[in-house]
């Protein structure tokens, strides 16, 4: 499985733990990413291995976020896979490894690959 999602909210994990992002904003970001993942999953018949190794590659046209600062967005996308029904759950039984990478690109997007 390989899907591509546009980055509609470039949110550093620093904003989450520093409490500078209101809970309602976090909720909206989660809903927006869940909808994007659901739409992309509906385009393809996606089956994931169990347990899955999820690989998130974040491509940025501007300033690159540190790899660990992409963890909030990765969590929203992982939850989006559960919301879309592609993952039954995001517990260790279904996801046993997550890899994050950051690359420079001409536009902002994320690829999600599962092995």
Consecutive 10-residue averages of pLDDT for the chain (115 residues): 91 86 90 93 83 96 95 96 92 96 97 93
pTM of the predicted protein model? 0.91
Domains identified in the chain and CATH numbers: 2-114 (3.30.1330)
Q: What local confidence, expressed as pLDDT, does residue 47 receive? A: 77
**Which of 40, 113, 52 is CA-nearest to residue 80?**
40
Q: What local confidence, expressed as pLDDT, does residue 76 receive? A: 95
- Distance CA(77)–CA(73), nearest Å, equals 6
- Distance CA(110)–CA(89), nearest Å, equals 21
């Amino acid at each position: 499985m390989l899907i591509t999602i546009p980055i509609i909210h470039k949110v550093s994990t620093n904003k989450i733990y520093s409490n500078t992002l209101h809970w309602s904003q976090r909720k909206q970001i989660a809903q927006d990413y869940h909808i994007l993942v659901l739409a992309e999953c509906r385009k393809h018949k996606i089956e994931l291995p169990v347990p899955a190794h999820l690989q998130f590659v974040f491509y940025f046209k501007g300033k690159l976020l540190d790899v660990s600062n992409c963890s909030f967005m990765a969590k929203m996308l992982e939850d989006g896979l559960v919301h879309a029904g592609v993952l039954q759950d995001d517990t260790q039984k279904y996801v046993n490894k997550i890899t994050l990478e950051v690359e420079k690109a001409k536009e902002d997007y994320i690829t999600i690959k599962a092995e």
